[in-house]
């Protein structure tokens, strides 16, 4: 199998297992059997093993068993994200490049007019641009290890059309464009806190 095919198989396995955990098909405590999952997906065991390892890093799997994060776990994860992305937004107000700023603006526009899948992708890119602009590999890696939980929240806020989601992105963009670090940090923290509360309420429903 060529390298790019291996990479595609890994992404396919990761998304398949992640989505089945997040939608409840793989219940808490379920043991993940590499051979069974590989047969279901139609790929070899190696990308399945790699994707399980990634899901363990992200907190959805522990010792090859499905974990179901509690509300407290989700709050703790988001508290870290709020601190890091608040800092990243402040940093961007001083150091973001013009090309990255243009990409941020484009993400906001897609958020207003795009399909659900396009809005999902634009939401992901918006936050990744801001975190990536710090050039802080520790911060980027820390956020990367939360990707499954971030995906769960992103899906919830986009599919259930959380009010003012895109307007908040636009306000963050404007604060960064105007080099207002205090405002950018405050708006990002408020934005993520609202995501958290919206998602926890939806999950209870």
Enumerate the domain spans of the chain: 3-66, 71-204
What's the per-residue H, E or C state across 158-203?
HHCCCCCHHHHHHHHHHHHHCCCHHHHHHHHHHHHHHHHHHHHHHH
- Max distance between CA atoms of the chain, in angstroms, equals 53
pLDDT greater than 50 at residue 101: yes
pLDDT at residue number 42: 95
pLDDT at residue number 171: 98
- For 147, the token pair is 């990707």
The rounded mean pLDDT for the chain is 93
pLDDT greater than 50 at residue 1: no
Q: Which fold has domain 3-66?
A: Arc Repressor Mutant, subunit A (1.10.10)
pLDDT greater than 60 at residue 126: yes
Alpha helices in the chain (DSSP H): 3-22, 34-41, 45-57, 71-95, 98-113, 116-132, 137-144, 147-159, 165-177, 181-204
User: Which pLDDT band holds residue 5 (cuts at 50, 70, 90)?
Assistant: low
**For residues 119-139, average pLDDT:** 96
Nearest residue to 177 (alpha-carbon basis) of 82, 81, 103, 111: 103
> Which range is most confident: 5-14, 146-155, 156-165, 168-177?
168-177
Domain 71-204: CATH class, spelled out: mainly alpha
pLDDT at residue number 28: 86
pLDDT at residue number 4: 59
**How far is Cα 60 from Cα 175, in angstroms, rounded to an integer?**
35
- For 195, the token pair is 């995501």
Beta carbons within 8 Å of 193's beta carbon, 6+ residues apart: 78, 82
**How far is Cα 173 from Cα 4, in angstroms, rounded to an integer?**
35
């Amino acid at each position: 199998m060529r390298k790019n095919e291996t990479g595609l198989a890994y992404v396919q396995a990761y998304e398949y297992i992640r989505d089945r955990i997040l939608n409840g098909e793989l219940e808490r405590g379920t043991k993940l059997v590499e051979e069974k999952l590989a047969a279901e997906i139609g790929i070899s065991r190696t990308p399945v093993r790699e994707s399980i390892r990634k899901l363990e890093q992200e907190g959805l799997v522990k010792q090859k068993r499905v974990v179901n994060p509690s509300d407290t776990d989700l709050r703790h994860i988001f508290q870290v994200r709020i601190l890091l992305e608040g800092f990243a937004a402040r940093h961007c107000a001083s150091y973001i490049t013009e090309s990255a700023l243009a990409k941020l603006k484009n993400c906001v526009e897609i958020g207003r007019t795009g399909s659900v899948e396009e809005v999902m992708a634009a939401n992901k890119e918006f936050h990744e641009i801001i975190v990536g602009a710090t050039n802080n590999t520790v911060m980027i890696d820390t956020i990367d290890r939360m990707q499954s939980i971030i995906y769960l929240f992103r899906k919830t806020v986009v599919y259930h059309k959380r009010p003012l989601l895109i307007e908040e992105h636009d306000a963050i963009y404007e604060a960064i464009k105007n080099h207002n670090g205090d405002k950018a940090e405050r708006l990002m923290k408020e934005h993520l806190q609202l995501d958290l509360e919206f998602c926890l309420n939806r999950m209870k429903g």
